[in-house]
Amino acid sequence: MDQTKIDVLRAQPLSAFTHLIDGKQVPASDGGTMDVISPIDGQVITTMAAGTAADMEAAIASARAAFEDGRWAGQPPAARKKVLLKWADLIEANALELAVLGVRDNGTEIGMAIKAEPGSAAATIRYYAEALDKIYGEIAPTPGDILGLVHKEPVGVVGAIIPWNFPMMIGAWKLGPALAMGNSVVLKPAETASLSLMRMAELALEAGLPPGVLNAVTGEGRVVGETLGLSMDVDVLVFTGSGGTGRRLMEYSARSNMKRVYLELGGKSPNIVFADAPNLDEAAKVAASGIFRNSGQVCVAGSRLLVEAAIHDEFVAKVAQAAEAMRVGDPLKVDTHVGAVNSEEQLKANLGFVEIAKTEGGEVVTGGDRILQDTGGYYMAPTIVTGVTRDATLAQKEVFGPVLGVTPFETEGEAIALANSTVYGLAGAAWTSNLGRAHRMVRGVRTGVMHINTYGGADGTVPLGGVGQSGNGADKSLHAIEKYVNLKTAWIKL
């Protein structure tokens, strides 16, 4: 990447951001705005519309009208495919601008952002564009005088609530399959990271997506998010974020039209290292990267390190060395390894977890403090805490920050029991040279994704979903399409 180009984009002033409703840029109905504060330096970089309930209702009405008149759902698959492919091309062509905009908004280091945000989003949209004309219905094995057909139809209006850590990537996980199958979508980006996703939505219109098919409303969750969740005109609601918000969305569904709700609610993922790991140095570097990149603000982050007692001290020292070698700082510098925490509120919460860990007997091996305060930004040193017991707060609660809790174990059975000792089940990993043990760990750890001798590796061809309180349904892969279609049986007497 060219640092000079990044610096030029960073210096560009930003216009105020408004809603996208029915193909038009629309301010909040009451004129309200919200400051956008950059975690890089704590400064206001622009404003965005502070949506009202009326704004969200207008967006939902636009999406419903677009679906009912068939301007998108009624197009042949080849036509939808052409638009989505052009959209992916536009995202790719504007990748650096989108990445810098997103980093200014949420603090992810640019080296990760360029790949994980526009790079991933373009690939995801392209994947579902290529898949949409290869989704077939079915013919049932019915008696000779009866023909049973199974049609796959779009569900209608999809509400998508997107988190702040990877708005473009996760937004594309929802938008790709939903739009590919002919649905209309209403987006609600996160309050603290809306800008890049709003730009991405604008590019969809430039690519030829008809007005009203994709609408986006910014604002507080308790206002516009609640309106979206309670709407009688939204057929499916998809969400990535906290468990508390997920529960509220399920309640909104029950209080309204019983809309289907699909949730990805984070995790407390175990990274399990056995003494027979093939390369402890590599495992340590990957363990550090797996929790500290993007300041630990990754849903699948390996936030619990379970280490076989025989190598505990040696391995923790290796991870600490890797953590201390990571450069924390300005996320728009290409040599930065770890960027900013998304908000001051999130930073305070992270530091609070460290203090709780100390009171519960944990020992801070490295980090544990706010750093670079003179910048005005929100930065935290990569933090490792040992002596974390099975029931400790740091072992049970999702921090969503650069905080790694370490717990020793003696046996394989104990490792599996520790791995399964939380309410979550999103991701996990095991490091071992024993092929049988590797398979036992895949079977034994209750989680949606299990890595062996790696961490964080996966692309759009495989599903990402959780068990337990990590959610339901799956993003990515062809399986994600199932959330956005209705099955209709046609029963025909011949």
CATH class of 3-265+471-491: alpha beta
Predicted model pTM = 0.97
The confidence score (pLDDT) of residue 144 equals 84
Considering only the C-alpha atoms of the chain, give the largest distance between any 2 of them, rounded to a whole number of Å: 79
Single out the residue of 150, 425, 151, 110 nearest to residue 299, CA to CA: 425
Q: Could you tell me if 274 and 286 are in contact, meaning their C-beta atoms sit under 8 angstroms apart? A: no
Tokens of 148: 């049973």
Contacts 24+ apart (CB under 8 A), 327-330: 328/371, 328/372, 328/379, 328/380, 328/381, 328/382, 329/372, 329/379, 330/40, 330/375, 330/377
Q: Give me the pLDDT at residue 264, please.
A: 96
Outline which parts of the chain fall under CATH 3.40.309.10. Answer: 270-459
Other Cβ atoms within 10 Å of 423 Cβ, number: 14
139 vs 135, 136, 144, CA distance in Å?
A: 14, 10, 12
pLDDT at position 89 is: 98
In angstroms, rounded to a whole number, what is the distance separating the alpha carbons of residues 242 and 235?
22
Measured CA distances, 280 to 276, 288, 316, 322 (Å)? 9, 12, 10, 12
**CATH code matching the domain that covers 270-459, chosen among 3.40.190.10, 2.120.10.90, 3.40.1010.20, 3.40.309.10:** 3.40.309.10
Instruction: Tell me if residue 130 is catalytic.
Output: no
List the chain pLDDT tens, one digit each, 494 residues: 899 999 999 999 999 999 999 999 999 999 999 999 999 999 999 999 999 999 999 999 999 999 999 999 999 999 999 999 999 999 999 999 999 999 999 999 999 999 999 999 999 999 999 999 999 999 999 988 999 999 999 999 999 999 999 999 999 999 999 999 999 999 999 999 999 999 999 999 999 999 999 999 999 999 999 999 999 999 999 999 999 999 999 999 999 999 999 999 989 999 999 999 999 999 999 999 999 999 999 999 999 999 999 999 999 999 999 999 999 999 999 999 999 999 999 999 999 999 999 999 999 999 999 999 999 999 999 999 999 999 999 999 999 999 999 999 999 999 999 999 999 999 999 999 999 999 999 999 999 999 999 998 778 999 999 999 999 999 999 999 999 999 999 999 99
Ranges for all domains in the chain classified under CATH 3.40.605.10: 3-265+471-491
Q: Annotated catalytic residue: which of 117, 191, 264, 308?
A: 264
